């Protein structure tokens, strides 16, 4: 049986109580209302008596959702289905590629939430990204969309620029990180995984406690780096498992893979802090 302090330490690393991750901050997701996925039998609910007063501490950052739905009350965009011509000069949208700014008059277009993040970056809706450098495309979009570059234009266009630019920033961040990219893919498939979900898999728990102990006991950089590369390898393995599961539409396993990835990332972060 695990003792209390050990459990506490495990809980800390597993639930990221040290510092919540900036992942999954999703803006303008083009989604139907998501289906929520929760682990039914979480460690803390089973053992909540042990934790009594400190229990709520772990729930501190457990905000379930941070999504903005299309047509939310703050959006200035008229939504999609407007007919794809430039609002300013009437030029039709190009046949290929997302229509974020007009090729003819360079006017920034209103946000069309049916365009997903993969389309913005010219990628297929798959976990593995193809060749092209995201950072380069990101910067190219910003050159066309960033509100600082439309300063002489109308308020209307400036607000479009604000929204488009923010959306491209979010798209870039979401796609450039393996975990957030995986979660976004699931979300596009209609599945929302809770960010701070507790974990019930005893095997993973035991493994993570061992890792934590190893990190704590590691006395030199060399050992830490060894642990780090071990965890990185595991992260890669599970990243591949996610890809395979997602390709097979095995969403239950894909969700398990994202949980693994999250905990490995946290462990890597712990190590980086100590290095």
Partner 1 sequence: MADEIYTVAYDSETSADERAKPVPADIAIGIDIGTSKCSFAIWNGAEVEVLQNTQIQSTIPSHVLFKDEMPPEGFSYEVPRSGAEILSGSDAFNMKRLIGRVDTDPVVKSSKMLPFMVQTFGIGQIPLIAVPVNNVWRSTTPEEVLAIFLAELKENAEHKLKRPIRKAVLTVPISFSRLQLTRIEQACAMAGIHVFRLMPEPTAVALLYAQQQQQQIIHENMGSGMEKVALIFSMGAGFCDVAITITAGGVSQIKALLGIPVGGEDMLQNIIHYLFPDFGSLEKMKSNRLLRIAVQNAIHELSSQTSVEVKVDLRDGKIKSRSLTRVEFEEVNHKVFVKCEKLIAQCLLDARLTAEDLSDVILVGGCSSVPKIRSLVLSLCKKEDSYDGIDPLEASVRGAATEGAIASGASDASGSLDLLTIQVTTTSLGIRVDGGDFVPIIRRNTSVPVRKEMVFTTANDDQAEALVVVYEGESRRAEENIILGYFKITGIPSGPRGSAEVGICMDVDTSNVLRVYGGAHLLRTQQAVSPFLEVRMPMADIGQGWSVQALVKIYGSTMDLAATPPNEVQK
Residues that bind partner 1 (CB under 8 A): 20, 22, 25, 27-28, 33, 35-36, 38, 45, 56, 59-69, 71-74, 135-136, 138-139, 142-143, 146-149, 151-152, 162-163, 165-166, 169-170, 173, 194, 196-197, 272-273
Looking at beta carbons only, is 160 or 263 nearer to partner 1? Answer: 160
Which CA distances in Å does 3 have to 44, 203, 248?
A: 14, 17, 40
Give me the residue label for tokens 């993040």: 117
How many Å is the Cα radius of gyration of the chain? 22
Looking at beta carbons only, is 56 or 233 nearer to partner 1? Answer: 56
Taking the complex as a whole, how short is the minimal distance between the CB of residue 22 and partner 1, in angstroms?
5
Looking at beta carbons only, is 4 or 143 nearer to partner 1? Answer: 143
Maximum Cα interatomic distance, the chain, rounded to a whole number of Å = 71
Taking the complex as a whole, how short is the minimal distance between the CB of residue 138 and partner 1, in angstroms?
8
* CA geometry: angle 267, 44, 179, nearest 5 deg: 35
Taking the complex as a whole, how short is the minimal distance between the CB of residue 232 and partner 1, in angstroms?
14
Looking at beta carbons only, is 89 or 272 nearer to partner 1? Answer: 272
* Nearest partner of 159 among 67, 86, 74, judged by Cα: 74
Taking the complex as a whole, how short is the minimal distance between the CB of residue 82 and partner 1, in angstroms?
20
Residue 108, beta-bridge partner list: 101
Which CA distances in Å does 157 have to 108, 169, 176, 243?
A: 6, 18, 28, 39
Taking the complex as a whole, how short is the minimal distance between the CB of residue 97 and partner 1, in angstroms?
20
Looking at beta carbons only, is 138 or 263 nearer to partner 1? Answer: 138
Strand runs labelled E in the chain = 35-37, 191-193
């Amino acid at each position: 049986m695990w003792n209390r302090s050990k459990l506490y330490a495990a809980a800390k690393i597993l639930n990221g109580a040290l510092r919540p991750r900036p992942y999954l901050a999703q803006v303008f997701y083009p989604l139907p209302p998501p289906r929520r996925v929760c682990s039914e039998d979480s460690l803390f609910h089973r053992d909540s008596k042990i934790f009594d007063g400190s229990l709520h501490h772990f729930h501190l950052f457990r905000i379930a959702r941070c999504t903005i739905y299309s047509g939310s009350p703050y959006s200035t965009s008229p939504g999609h289905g407007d007919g794809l011509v430039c609002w300013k000069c009437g030029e039709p949208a190009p046949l290929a590629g997302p229509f974020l700014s007009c090729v003819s008059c360079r006017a920034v277009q209103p946000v069309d939430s049916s365009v997903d993040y993969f389309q913005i970056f010219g990628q297929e809706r798959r976990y593995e990204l193809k060749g092209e450098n995201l950072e380069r495309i990101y910067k190219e979009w910003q050159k066309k969309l960033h509100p600082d570059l439309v300063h002489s234009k109308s308020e209307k266009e400036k607000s479009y620029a604000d929204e488009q630019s923010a959306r491209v920033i979010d798209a870039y961040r979401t796609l450039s990180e393996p975990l957030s990219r995986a979660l976004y893919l699931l979300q596009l498939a209609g599945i929302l995984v809770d960010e701070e979900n507790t974990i019930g898999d005893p095997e993973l728990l035991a493994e993570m406690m061992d890792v934590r102990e190893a990190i704590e006991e590691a006395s030199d950089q060399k050992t830490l780096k060894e642990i780090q590369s071990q965890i990185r390898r595991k992260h890669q393995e599970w990243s591949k498992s996610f890809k395979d599961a997602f390709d097979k539409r095995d969403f239950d396993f894909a969700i398990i893979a994202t949980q693994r990835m999250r905990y490995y990332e946290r462990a890597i972060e712990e190590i980086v802090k100590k290095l």
